[in-house]
Every structure is written in structure tokens, then in C-alpha cells.
Amino acid sequence: MEQLSAILESCHSAEPQKSSSSWSDRQHKASERWKESRPYNLQCLIEEEAVGHPLCCLCNEPAVIRCRDCLPEEWFCGDCDILHHKKQPLHNRECIIDGFFKAIPPSTCIMNQGDGYCTHEQACLLPVGKASCSSCKGTNIVTSPGKPAILITINGRYDLHQPLHFCETCQRQWAPELKDLIRSGYWPASLSVYTLYTLDLLSSFQELKVISPGFARQAFAKLLEHRTKCGGRSGHINGDALQRSFLELSYSSFEKKQLCCGAEFTCPACTPEMLAVSADGNRKLYRFGQSGSSDDPAFLEGLFVAKDSEVAIFTDAIQKAVKNTQGKGKCGDSQWTAARERSKRASKLDEEVMEVAVCRHGFLLKALNMYGGRYLHTPSSFRKN
């Protein structure tokens, strides 16, 4: 036993010291290394700005365009750039004719006119899946720029043109429909299909909303505008339109999930044997009476937020069964301020509080709107739900 305890003691005294010192050692060494390399980092950052005399990666002519999205073949002369980027309108290109790197929009191209370079405008097509003629099944299709279209991706806004297809066999002309656009990974901002978001962008927006529910759509729109500017492009991004389009996508995705029998608002870990449900009110989730949103019917009425009429029927049933004096917050035998009924906080609010029930894994199960503390007794109902 003595020998063992001696061994244990030697381990205990040696190990924690070693691990703590090695962690702080590592931190210290890392800071030292960063400090040493600071002048070199700065030099590299400055050198990165030098344009030099690059040659086109495709034809060895002097290059005028750099596209880092095309790495490792990043340099292009004017003609090769037009040919190569015709099919890649979403690449962020930079032009070097002024002696420094300048981000240019996809609609700008550079031409060599013998005595010097000049910029030209070109129409860029929205990239969509390959078209084939639906009436003659022909594949002899010529595509030209059609109506203007705005595409918003995680890299910001692109002012492009919708492709206009023309079948040389049967002389039919058509533009891609909504189903073609969705198949190509886009979602409309409105039903006029003038502005499109990528599905990828909306999925990133959803992820941000899940990570940080208070994340503002205006902040997201500002971020996208910043990305637009970084790419040498311009234009405003409407946060409200983004939100609306996002909610429509969420609704359609929900319906799709229902068809695939995916259940929402159940916890896979504790359904059906749910041990505990916690319910609490969130006073930040209120709505102003004048906001007019009550005229706008909900997408998923009663699915997560219980219908007000059903809650009222339930509370009435409870009121009849329990003796409760109006104005006194009685809950069981004890008096409780938060249980006081009809304590209106501010008259301008419509729904004042949202009461949400979660399981012990934090899965949202059910919620209800509270109007002035009226429905405080209801959480017990969720246990049966």
C-alpha cells in the first residue's frame, strides 16, 4: 500500500504541473512565433499588392484580368477572359490596367484597342440548367440575354440577364420557368421572378437564425451589400423581401417534410416517454396591437403556437374547476404574483408574452400567446399533449 501511494503521489505531483505548464508554454511559444514573424507578414501583405507583368495562363499574351476563383490559372488577357468567364458570371474578377488591382463587375470586360486598353459592357446570363426544346425535343438551341434579373448569393448581388432560349428547329422562343430556376438552385424573391436568391444563401440565413435567433435580417442584408461592394458590384439588398421570401421557402420546406413524414416539434430522444416538460414565458416576444399583422393569416396556424380559441376553451375549463378569486394570483394554496390574472402590462401591445414549452433536451414542443397574464395555468396541459 505504501509503495502504491508513493507511486500515486509521484504521479499526482508530476502530472498536473506538467500539463498546465505545457499548455501555457504552448501559448507562450505561439505568441513568440507570431511576434517574430510580424515584420515578414507585413512585407508579404504589401507585396501582395504588386501587379507585376503577368501573362495570360491560356495564350501567354500580357494579362489584364486576375480571377482568384479560377486558381491556379488566375491570369487572363481580355479575349480569354471574355471566352472563359462567359459561363462563369459569378466569379470575382479584378482588372489591372490602371496598375493596381481593381474589382470589376461581371458585366465589365477589357478590350485591347492597339493603342491601349478600354472597358466595355457585356450582358451576363444567369447560369441555369441546360435547356432542351419541349415541343420538338431538339437540342439545337441558341441562348441570348433576355429580361434583366438580379441574383443574390452569399457573395452579394449580381445584376445579370435571364437566358432567352431559341430553338432553331421549330423557331420556338422561351425563358426559363420557376421550376427550371428552382431546379438550378434558386428561389424567387417575388413571384415576378425578377430577383432570385440561391437556396444556399437562404439555408445559411436559416442557420444563422438558429444559432442566433435575434439575428437581424437588416444585418444580413448589410453583410451581403458589403460582399457586393467587395466584388466591385453595386446595388441595394432589401432585407424585408429577403425575410418574406425566406418564410415562404420555410413554409414550402415544411410542407415537403410533412409529405415525407418528418415530424416537427417532437424530440427524437424522449418521445413518447417524456419525463419532464418545462414551460416559461418570454416577455421579449410581444407584438404591437397596431402592427396590422393580425390581418396577415399565419402560415402554420395552430401547429406550434396553439390557437387562441383553443387556449381560451382550456382556460375556461380550468377556471370552472378551480376556485380562483379575480385579481388574486392563487396557484394551488399559495398566492403568487405571476399567477395574477388579467394584469395588463402595456395597453399598446396585442400579444404580450409567448409561453413556450420545451423538453429537457431543449426541443421546442408547443407555445401559446399570452394576453395580459391570462393563460398562466395552461402549461400543465402540455404534459398530456
The residues binding Zn ion (CB under 5 A) are 56, 58-59, 61, 67, 69-70, 77, 80, 88, 91, 133, 136, 138, 167, 169-170, 172, 267, 269-270, 359, 361
Nearer to Zn ion, 68 or 283 (CB): 68
CB 264 within 8 A of CB 257: yes
Nearer to Zn ion, 58 or 164 (CB): 58
Nearer to Zn ion, 241 or 277 (CB): 277
Shortest gap between Cβ of 160 and Zn ion (angstroms)?
15
Nearer to Zn ion, 231 or 281 (CB): 231
Nearer to Zn ion, 52 or 297 (CB): 52
Shortest gap between Cβ of 155 and Zn ion (angstroms)?
13
Which of 12-34 are b and which e, b meaning 16 or more Cβ less than 10 Å from the residue's Cβ? eeeeeeeeeeeeeeeeeeeeeee
Instruction: Supply φ then ψ for residue 82, to 5 degrees.
Output: -60, -45
CB 95 within 8 A of CB 108: yes
Shortest gap between Cβ of 364 and Zn ion (angstroms)?
10
**3-state DSSP call for residue 106?**
coil
Shortest gap between Cβ of 218 and Zn ion (angstroms)?
31
Shortest gap between Cβ of 336 and Zn ion (angstroms)?
28
Nearer to Zn ion, 79 or 308 (CB): 79
- Strands 195-198 and 141-153 come out as parallel
Alpha-carbon Rg for the chain in angstroms: 31
Shortest gap between Cβ of 154 and Zn ion (angstroms)?
17
Q: CA distances (Å), 374 to each of 31, 245, 304, 327, 346, in order?
A: 58, 34, 19, 11, 14
Distance separating alpha carbons of residues 165 and 136, to the nearest angstrom = 14
